[in-house]
Structure 1
């Protein structure tokens, strides 16, 4: 099939995003024929381009195979958004697009004049799509997070696959939550594009890593029963991208891939400021050379207090971390409730279901009930132009019931 015959041929997408989640969603659109243009910093690029493994360094202009996977079929343009001319150029590109996609946090979008209201003022018919860690509402809507913290840890998925007696939460497959969440974001965008054809207005699409965790963990989240058996971790993680056991047997997860940025504040938070001057841990290279010693130092501090204490301590820490929750705890998490990832069924039964991991427009108030097998067969067939006589014949032959 040629590019001109693909379903999204002629759709223009401007992407301002990094890492895996949102770029994976736009990769889906590109495969469907959309012209996806990535805005990247002209010298630093997307940090994911040269990522070798979690916790290790990057160089912006090289390209890893993982980055190639999530960015295939796109064009990249280097724009420095920190200067007025660069910002104005980005606004011009967005003004001619059908879709704007971003993973930037709310504060960054405000600084760039790229909030939903500002983008819609530039382009009233645009689809404004944003993927984040915890959802656009709730107390932690602006908090940082990767899939290992927002999806795997706080969303309850890591707990589902870890032996409760393990010293560490099972290692998440690379970008596991990112790719699952990307499907929800892409689906939301597709729905909004259909709506744009009908109404001329694009509107807002949002999706998050935590929404994806609720969707993936729905079976266990809704049953209220913990699994009897769970897989054990097999590959150790780096000391700054792993889980730690607290004094009460609970775990917390940290994900300080940009270790130089967070190292000093992290040491202060755990009451170990002396580690910042320890020759073994002075910088990234030194820490990489002493992983076992570093893990022991951090484990000793974390293991001296219960999870409730670390929730308090890390409340003001602006680095990616999360309490490791079961899916049942996640079901009652303020972020899950604030964003209505679980909703009541509209039949008055009091049951709740997990909604799709994206939001198009306003958050729904409830979910429709599940219909009985074959309940709507006749109505649907009639709506699609199948004559009643043919339906009877199909029934007679066992084709429909």
Structure 2
């Protein structure tokens, strides 16, 4: 299923090794201490790990990252649930279990912080500050740290939503995109593309981290990178506010063909927004007269006559073609079109295989079908793609990290474990 760029089968992720935490890559030598959960930050730190950073993930004893409890799930070698959200966001990391609510656990994290370039968290706004692990606390022991917060509504600017919890669909709804795409009295389509609010925030967090590291290279100073999920989604759904400001209302787009059309085996999407492209479409579907039809002389005319004129002709042309064949013909004519693929079709897609965009994570509970996790979309000509490493089991690297980084003895680790400070 996951295949490499040369067409061969992609290797399954190897075991993360405490003695060799960094797999190499452009960020080799960069170290991240991640107090994270679910997806908004873990996706960002996984991307950094895939680019070569050493990411140590701090999880609470017992349940661990709340993403482990998501469904569907598999079980790890110890019989504990490992949910889909965790599996797709934590490749290549090491896991340390520390109770941050215990002062001794907080002190362990503050002792670790100076050994890392980046300290990152995605708790509810203000939560880390109340635990004594906010930016000021970390900067006091490590002034050069890049401290990153990802939260629903941000930490550094007063907002009426500061105290609210947030998941991706919440901020997606607040961005206006749900209402823009809702029709009639139908309810909004919630999470139509998965966790856009999480992944969008993660990508902006990654950009902020890389910029802060570059700034530190020049000045020697760390800083606070504050990412709000709502800000990130508003940036990604820019058409909502931009088009409103230019006179469009209720999700209306500018006049162009941007619609789905039916072929013999399903649907494809076609975008035509320029007159020369409309002429190519007219010729391809056998309607050259469109280019001289006064009703279709403007882009608004295309939209006005989509259902009574354009759609019947386009779908009549496509009726004898599969969606893939229709898109191939449209592409050959210089028109942008793509088939609407099912989940199984995406898994088998030749582009996805060629680019190695699915990583197989073998299951540890006797199920033959491996878990498929999206691969790394960042390709760099001077940096080979590092081998993927499986997600860590809960607390798998606690002893090794605390012993290697802080010099804690076996007796000290045993005492902390006995008191529930680590696990």
Alignment TM-score, normalising by the size of structure 2 = 0.50
Within 5 Å, give how 1:251-270 maps onto structure 2: none
Q: Give CA deviations for 1:166-201 in whole Å, capped at 9, x if unaligned.
A: 1x2112133222112210011100110111111111
2:207 maps to 1:187: yes
- Contact 2:49 2:93 survives alignment (8 Å): yes
SS state at 1:77 partner:
strand
* Distance of 1:39 and 1:76 partners within structure 2: 6
* Distance of 1:17 and 1:61 partners within structure 2: 19
Partner of 1:127: 146
Partner of 2:130: 111
* Distance of 1:36 and 1:4 partners within structure 2: 11
Partner of 1:299: none
Deviation at 1:4, TM superposition (A): 6.2
* Distance of 1:187 and 1:31 partners within structure 2: 15
- Contact 1:45 1:61 survives alignment (8 Å): no
* Distance of 1:117 and 1:134 partners within structure 2: 19
SS state at 2:185 partner:
coil
Q: Give CA deviations for 1:193-212 in whole Å, capped at 9, x if unaligned.
A: 11111111120111121111
Partner of 1:52: 71
- Contact 1:106 1:115 survives alignment (8 Å): no
Alignment TM-score, normalising by the size of structure 1 = 0.52
Deviation at 1:47, TM superposition (A): 1.3
* Distance of 2:48 and 2:91 partners within structure 1: 11
* Distance of 1:145 and 1:24 partners within structure 2: 17
* Distance of 1:169 and 1:37 partners within structure 2: 38
* Distance of 2:126 and 2:132 partners within structure 1: 10
Deviation at 1:118, TM superposition (A): 1.1
Within 5 Å, give how 1:82-93 maps onto structure 2: 82-93=101-112
Count of paired positions: 224
Partner of 1:175: 195
Higher RCO (CA < 8 A, seq sep 6+): 2
* Distance of 1:186 and 1:175 partners within structure 2: 16
2:175 maps to 1:155: yes
Partner of 2:160: 139
Within 5 Å, give how 1:11-90 maps onto structure 2: 11-52=30-71, 61-90=80-109
- Contact 1:50 1:61 survives alignment (8 Å): no
- Tell me, which stretches of 5 or more residues in structure 1 are unaligned? 54-59, 232-401
Instruction: Point out the structure with max Rg over C-alpha.
Output: 2
- Contact 2:146 2:224 survives alignment (8 Å): yes
2:230 maps to 1:210: yes
Task: Extract structure 1 runs of 4+ deviating beyond 6 A.
Answer: none
SS state at 2:88 partner:
helix
Deviation at 1:165, TM superposition (A): 1.9
- Tell me, which stretches of 5 or more residues in structure 2 are unaligned? 1-19, 73-78, 260-423
